[in-house]
Structure 1
Amino acid sequence: MTTRLSPPTAPSAAAARSFLFVPGDRPDRFDKAWASTADEVILDLEDAVGPDRKVHARAAVSAWLNPSRPVFVRINAVDTPWYQDDLELLTNPGVVGMMVPKAEVLDSGLVSACATHGKRLLPIVETAVGFQRASELATTRCVERLAFGTLDFQVDMGLTGDDDALLYFRSRLVLESRLAGIQAPLDGVTPAIGNVAVLSADTARSRRIGFGGKLCIHPSQLDEVNRCFAPSAADIKWAEEVVQAIAKSHGAAIAVDGKMVDRPVILKAERILGSARRLPRVS
């Protein structure tokens, strides 16, 4: 396993917010997903596809892939009979990276191949062992960010509920990501499709505790997720005022809205403005 030796750097302000899963055996949905407001699209060969459809799904994904529309592919877990065949998709120029389910230790062959071909890795923490090894996962070469598979994690841990029961685990993934100098993690899916209030509350909580994005299972969830992770008009106005005040201060101490402006405040303002300038899709 290769780890980063450089000190942590500030997470990217332009990190993708919404990741949309699309079943790999539903090629009729691929174009619609790509045309959606998702920052990133994940063609799913794992949970969304039954065992008897795995080969069909892989063929459908392979036929659709094109470098003009780069996507992530969620492959099957390393201990499944489909893993090795799924890895053959890695060299396709239409694949920007691989999402690895049930991640506990990343296969060295997969990591080396991703490094060789310039692909990104998104390990999903879904088990107690994966959580215990989150630091190792986060510091593995080619890992861009961690994702939290909340539903499977609850089953593995015997937990009930998606709020206080997972707060420690969510916060720890945020911390490990920051220490590794990678992008803020992705929170798990909200299964309540069509319930905007629940989705909004889930996403607001994710952002509040430091997540940088969220996994989505339906296009109807994208706009709300993108909105919740985007800076508000008030945030942008405040950040602009801070930057303008700094530019006019010529090094003197200043205050904005009656509050002292120091380095953490400046960094926060710069991050807000950087996020506001994001592209619709980051790839």
Structure 2
Amino acid sequence: MKKRSYLFVPANSNKLIEKGLTSEADAVIFDLEDAVALSEKNVARAKLLHHLKTVRCSSRPFVRVNSTESEYFEEDVRTFAALDNIGIMLPKAETKEDIARLETLLDQEDVMNKPILPLIETAKGVWNAAEIASASLKVEALAFGAVDFSLDTNITLSDSGEELLYARSQLVIASRVAGIEAPIDTVYTNFKNSEGFLHEARQVKGLGFQGKLLIHPSQIALAGEIFTPKDEEVEKARRVINAFREAEEKGIAAIEVDGEMVDYPVVRQARKIVNSFSGD
């Protein structure tokens, strides 16, 4: 299953919810938190519930509930817990206790297999990323929220992104240690700057991220362009796999393909490329 593009959709607009339900993104995150005014929280929750109960989403759906510190958190979780195949994004995830509280609510609703995406947005969350990633079998992947993180840490965001290198790398390492999927990178807020998006997406792919959070449908194709292996990459990966298979049958575990040395780690990487290309 491809997980390159996660599109945020405000849950306070019938029109936007309907568009989100037919989105071409790999996943859609219907947002009850930052996109909804305090006075509209209950109305937006009911509105989103109606849509999700009556129309099947063409992408993988998630609901970003309000944080554990919010008065709306428990009702958000209980409202969407029973809906099949709809995951929960937990904002401001800072400790394993945050995940435990969410999981307790899901257990109380007899929901056993609801995927959780903790959104890491603070210094405390980055510091505790490994324990958050390991807190529950329901945790599918970590997501990074750089805007709130920069506010929390007094960082000034730049085009280079160098000030976020440590935090991003921490999420990648924590995910690997916990044995969960690679993380999802933060939104790129200037949705009219395609080149800037592509530059940042290439950068975080190189760091080990598998996709990006998006704020506009125009970014879906851009994310797909970066996080989907190119045809020539896939062809080379298949040559590597086939050549190594033949060599291995002869008792050889190190060969040369296209002028490059190939051993077991290289073959494992080649298989990852082929699998990510062919995944639905």
TM-score by length of 1: 0.89
- Residue 140 (structure 1) aligned with residue 127 (structure 2): no
Residues paired across the two proteins, number: 266
Which of 79, 91, 100 lines up with 2:81 in the alignment?
A: 91
Is the 8 Å Cα contact of residues 3 and 27 (structure 2) preserved in structure 1? yes
| 1:51 partner letter | L
Aligned residue type for 1:160: T
SS of equivalent to 2:7: strand
CA distance, structure 2, for counterparts of residue 113 and residue 90 of structure 1? 11
Q: Take 2:30 and 2:239, find their aligned partners in 1: how far apart are those partners?
A: 42
In structure 2, what is the Cα distance between the partners aligned to 1:132 and 1:206? 19
Which amino acid in the other structure matches residue 150 of structure 1?
A
The question of 1:26 aligning with 2:13 is answered: yes
SS in 2 for 1:21: strand
Structure number with greater CO (CA < 8 Å, separation at least 6) is: 1
Matched, 1:182 2:183: no
The amino acid that maps onto 2:275 is G
Letter of the 2:271 counterpart? E
Q: Which residue identity is paired with 2:104?
A: S
Give matches, 1:217-236, under 5 Å: 217-236=215-234
Where do residues 4-23 of structure 1 align in structure 2 (5 Å cutoff)?
A: 14-23=1-10
Matched, 1:100 2:98: no
Alpha-carbon distance in structure 2 between the residues aligned to 1:82 and 1:231: 41
Aligned equivalent of 1:57: 44
Q: Quote the Cα distance in structure 2 between the aligned partners of 1:99 and 1:209.
A: 23
Note if contact 1:68-1:94 (Cα within 8 Å) is conserved in structure 2: no
RMSD: 1.6
**In the alignment, structure 1 residue 278 sits paired with structure 2 residue 270:** no
Task: Give the Cα separation in 2 of the matches to 1:107 and 1:187.
Answer: 20
1:111 Cα deviation (Å)?
A: 1.2
- Deviation per residue, 1:30-77 (Å, 9 max, x gap): 232232221001100000111111111101111011484351000001
Whether the aligned pair in 1 keeps the contact of 2:93 and 2:118 (CA below 8 Å) is yes
My pick for the range that moved more, 108-117 or 149-158, is: 108-117
Unpaired runs of 5+ residues, structure 2, are none
* Contact 2:99/2:135 (<8 A) preserved: no
Runs of 4+ in 1 over 6 A off after TM superposition: none
The structure 1 residue matched to 2:162, chosen from 160, 164, 168, is: 164
Output the amino acid matched with 1:104. Answer: E
Counterpart residue number, 1:10: none
Equivalents in 2 of 1:58, 1:39: separation in Å? 23
Residue 123 of structure 2 corresponds to: 128
How far is 1:107 from its partner? 4.7
Distance 2:237 2:259 in 1: 14
Aligned to 1:111: 103
> Identity, % of aligned pairs?
38
Equivalent-residue separation in structure 2 for 1:61 and 1:236 (angstroms)? 40
Correspondence for 1:8? none
* Distance in 1 of aligned mates of 2:21 and 2:238: 33
1:245 is aligned to 243
Per-residue Cα deviation, 1:178-228 (whole angstroms, up to 9, x for no partner):
111011111100000121101101111110111111100110000001110
1:133 to partner: Cα distance? 1.1
Query: Quick one: which amino acid aligns to residue 111 of structure 1?
Result: E
Q: Which amino acid aligns with 2:149?
A: F
3-state secondary structure, aligned to 2:139: coil
Unaligned runs of 5+ in 1: 1-13
2:25 maps to 1:38: yes
TM-score by length of 2: 0.90
